[in-house]
Amino acid sequence: MDFGIKISKSGVDVKTASGENLILSSSKNCFKMADYLTTTIVVTGGVGTKTIAHGLSFVPVVMAFLKRVDNYHKFPFIDSSDYSIGNYYVNATNIVFQYGGDVGLDGTYTIYYYLSDTESAS
């Protein structure tokens, strides 16, 4: 008997659905979020860095977005319209966000990020 959670596509019987007809199956490894967080980064002189201690005993997977006016940019990114660059890295203790470009970017920006409850593969 096959146990777990399954959700099938509309019109497909979940009891007999094959893998390509499942929207979700707990038998597959899924991105599991431990938390959804926000922080701000202050850019001065065209450069901003924000370091956050993640408090985990492993290096987590992080997915992050920077909000500018009414647009969201997924890290890492290069915006050719104003030559701005957003990047981040994660180590055993911290998440470090970096954002910068032209001095005209100076200001405070909001970063939205997801933190996994599973260890990064690298």
The domain defined by 31-119 carries CATH number 1.10.3470: no
Q: How far apart are CA 41 and CA 2, in angstroms?
A: 47
Q: Exposed, middle or buried: residue 67 (CB in 10 Å: 0-12, 13-18, 19+)? A: middle
Confidence (pLDDT) at 1: 43
pLDDT of residue 7: 87
Query: What average pLDDT does the chain have?
Result: 88
Entry pTM: 0.74
Domain ranges (residues) in the chain: 1-29, 31-119
Distance CA 15, CA 67 (A): 42
φ and ψ at residue 30, rounded to 5 degrees: -110, 155
Residues 6+ apart with CB under 8 A from 105: 43, 46, 82, 84, 99
The pLDDT tens digits for 63-120 are 999 998 888 999 999 988 888 999 999 999 999 999 999 878 899 999 999 998 777 6
